[in-house]
Amino acid sequence: MPHAYTHTNWPIAAAMIQYPNILPDGSSVQDQKPEEWAATLREVTEAGFTEIDPTDSWIRLADLRPERLERFAACVAEAGLTMPGLSTARRSVIDPERADDNLAYSHRVIDTAARLGIKEVSFGLFYPLTDAQKKALWFWTAQGTTSPDDPAVWNKAVSRIRELARHAQEVGLGLSLEMYEDTYLGTADSAVRFVQDVDHPCVGINADLGNLVRLHRPVEHWASMMQKVAPFARYWHVKNYYRTEDASTGMVVTAPAPLEFGVISYRAAIRMALAHGFASAFLVEHYGGDGLSVSATNRDYLRRILPR
């Protein structure tokens, strides 16, 4: 199947997970002056990126006033960047306390993306970090909130995502659902079942296998997971982890790794997705250290292995 992109122009966006929303002085990125936004965006450009995902853990574009949103978009353009995707984090539409607010927010995200010419949005069903996760060096080593094993809640999630999908389709967007542990997209089998239950043509799976292979517990082999989700892959968050397992004790230890060095072979994973017609943007992520610079090496690795 022919692809719209090659290794030279495939959109590969910088994630902004290394930039917090709350600044050291207690103020918020939401309230920064445009020149302060521009200074951050300049760092992204200087790292060699031509695309950015203004991830909402950094700035909630959907909550900016229209004139501020226009100014932000101007800053992005002035930095020489484009925005192929817009990702949300920890705003589940079945959150026990914030479900309705998160649903309304998700609709605003779709409208905001459409207004800015962004073509893909990523949603997830994962929850805010627990206190234990906030205290841990790596938050995934502490137990987070688990989606209930309740058919009624599953059906509510399916219904709400389908509602968002209809909205996304109306404004010409694709919708990607992020794989994440202990949610209804927490395994490959469950993610496929969930997307099939949503049953909407603009909905696919954000095959963020890194979220799963980093867990200090048994997980399905990444290649087996990728084979299952590849036919459904859309806007894709990519990151990697070192993972070692001691078969004699059951001990598992993981740590963030640059994309080409971790346990997932993205050369093989991307081939699987391409075989099913994958033609969406990538988002490169990395936790710890200089996340932006490692993300830049991840981008360069992708350019080496993508189709020519």
Residue numbers of the chain with a pLDDT score lower than 70: 1-3
Domains of the chain with CATH codes: 12-305 (3.20.20.150)
Q: Which of 233, 239, 226, 237 is nearest to 298 (CA)?
A: 239
Q: What is the pLDDT of residue 1?
A: 34
Two tokens at 293?
Answer: 């610079």
Neighbour tally for 145: CB within 10 Å: 17
Note the pTM of the prediction, 2 decimals: 0.96
Residue with structure tokens 């997705």?
A: 273
pLDDT digits (tens, 9 = 90+) for 78-106: 999 999 999 999 999 999 999 999 999 99
Q: What is the pLDDT of residue 4?
A: 77
**How many Cα neighbours within 13 Å face the side chain of 291?**
17
